[in-house]
Structure 1
Amino acid sequence: MKMKFLYLIGIMLIGGLLVSCDKDSEDEKNETEDTSFLIGTWQQVSNSGWIKQGEYVDEWNNSYGEEGGRIVFNEDGTCKFYMYEDGAFVEDAFGTWEYKSGKICVWDSDSESVSTVKDLSASTLTMEMYEKETENEVVTYEFYEIDTYHKITNNLN
């Protein structure tokens, strides 16, 4: 159960937090950075972070073998998220994506999220997310997470 919770936190990094990322106009899309290096399947190898809500604090630091989640960034701007469950990868979510100015923006049917790319090479992708909510100038919620993925070449099927 804790593994599934941590994976879902990882998915929030990509697909569930309410951070604004404006869709570009057609002219701005022509200036979008080269994303060919992101196209493909990425295997999650580590996930760490913390969440604070009132007096509740939870921290995690996980390393994964094959049981980490997967993200597939397609050339057509779509993406899919998979979780490892009962010995197989199961599609968990899907949406569209864009990489611009060092950030990966993901939209699904009811939310959008932005992750800051901390490291990107032909084989490694490290993304970071921070969110804070306040009420009457008092911090009521904070979330920080950093995930590292390695690019894999085999198909999910």
Structure 2
Amino acid sequence: MKKLFFASLWVLACLVVACSDEKDEPNDEPGSIIGEWVFQKNEYYRNGKLIDSFTAVEDEDKMIAIFREDGTFRYYDYPPEEYYDGSYSYDETSGMLTTNDGVNKKTCQTKITVSTMKWIYDEGNNEELIEYYTRKQ
């Protein structure tokens, strides 16, 4: 009888572990900017309406952004023939990302999950550019 009781407990414990409360989509959880990001597409909006978009299909269209813990970044085209190095600051609370490569300083609203990153640029005149990236595996 004891063996049956302990076997039942074991099965119950296995079921509890298998049916844990983990989210089905952990990719929606906030993530770190640190790492390598691959450009996927951009969208250009005017007055909230999509007016243009580009999706990177070929490898040569997939730019790479690398953000390091020391506050530096590298942005390059694939294959890495031309690249931009610089510094960045990212405020997790406001989601504001500022990059400076010594020539251009850009600021955008950034939304980051475990596997995706979105840069949202306010272009003025009710126009907005959104760039989408995925974390490099």
State the SS of the aligned residue for 2:69: coil
RMSD: 2.1
For residue 82 of structure 2, what is the aligned residue in structure 1?
91
Task: Give the number of aligned pairs.
Answer: 99
Structure 2 gap segments, 5+ residues each: 1-30
Q: Which has the higher helix share?
A: 2
For residue 81 of structure 1, what is the aligned residue in structure 2?
75
Large movers: runs of 4+ above 6 Å = none
1:72 and 1:129 map into 2 onto residues whose CA distance is: 19
- 2:102 paired with 1:109: yes
- 1:143/1:90 CA distance change after superposition, 3 Å: farther
Q: Which has the higher strand share?
A: 1
Instruction: Write out aligned runs for 1:9-24 (5 A).
Output: none
Q: TM-score, normalised to structure 2's length?
A: 0.63
1:63 and 1:115 map into 2 onto residues whose CA distance is: 20
1:64 and 1:111 map into 2 onto residues whose CA distance is: 24
- 2:62 paired with 1:68: yes
Percent identity at matched positions?
22
1:121 and 1:45 map into 2 onto residues whose CA distance is: 15
Which one-letter code corresponds to 1:126 in the other structure? K
Computing the radius of gyration from Cα coordinates, the structure with the larger value is: 2
- 1:42/1:131 CA distance change after superposition, 3 Å: same
2:54 and 2:105 map into 1 onto residues whose CA distance is: 25
What do the CA deviations read for 1:86-122 (whole angstroms, capped 9, x no partner)?
A: xx232321110111121111112133111101x3111
Which one-letter code corresponds to 1:95 in the other structure? G
